[in-house]
A = this chain, B = another copy of it.
Amino acid sequence: MEVNIDLQKERKSATFETEKLTEILYNGKTMVRRRRYLQNIIFQDKYINSFTPWWNRERDESYDTAVKKSVYINKLLRDLNITNGVEQFYIREAAACQESNPLGLHQVMFIPTIEKQGTKEQIAKYVEPAKQYKILGTYAQTELGHGTFIRGLETTATYDPNTEEFIINSPTLSSMKYWPGSMGKTCNYVILMAQLYSQGKRHGIHAFVVQIRSLKDHTPLPGISVGDIGNKLGYGGMDNGYLMFNNYRVPRDSMLMRYAKVEKDGSYVRTSSPKVTYGTMVYVRSTIVGKAATALSYVVTIATRYSAVRRQTEIKPGGEEPQVIDYQTQQEKIFPLLSAAYAFLFTGNMMVQEYTRINADMEKGRFDEMQVLHALAAGLKAFSSDTASNGIDKLRMACGGHGYSHASGIPKIWANITPACTYEGENTVMYLQCARYLVKQYAQAATGQKLVGFMSYLNNPVKQRSALNDALSMSDLIEAYEHTAARLIKVAATRMQSMMKGGMSVEEARNKCAVPMVYAAKAHCQAYVVKMFNTVANRPSLDTSVARVLQTLCKLYAVYGINQRLGEFIQDGFLDGQQADMILNKTLSLFAEIRPNAVALVDAFDYPDEILQSCIGRYDGRVYEALYEYAKTSPLNKQDVHDSYYTTLKPLMKGELKFDTPTARL
Contact = CB atoms under 8 A, between A and B. Distances in A.
Given A75-B657, A321-B149, A659-B47, A404 B422 contact: yes
Interface string A493-522: 000000000000101101111111010000
Given A42-B664, A148-B312, A631 B68 contact: no
B146 A239 contact: no
A573 B568 CA distance: 14
Given A44-B664, A60-B636, A401-B422, 11 more contacts: A41-B665, A50-B660, A59-B635, A151-B314, A173-B628, A227-B631, A227-B634, A315-B508, A326-B511, A329-B515, A571-B580
Contacts of A510: 315
A64 B643 contact: yes
A50 B661 contact: yes
Given A59-B635, A315-B507, A655 B577 contact: no
A72 to B, nearest CB: 6
A538 interface: no
A404 B432 contact: no
Contact of A636 (B63, B173, B330): B63
Of A56, A428, A510, A665, the most chain B CB neighbours within 10 A belong to A428
Contact of A147 (B72, B176, B400, B423): B400
A5 interface: no
Nearest to A516: B584
Interface residues of A, number: 158
Given A321-B152, A405-B233, A663-B79, A624 B184 contact: no
Contact of A55 (B75, B231, B661): B231
Interface string A644-666: 11011110110101011111111
B404 A233 contact: yes
Contacts of A514: 327-329, 332
Nearest to A591: B515
B631 A228 contact: yes
Given A44-B664, A230-B633, A577-B573, A220 B640 contact: yes
A328 B627 CA distance: 46
A655 B132 contact: yes
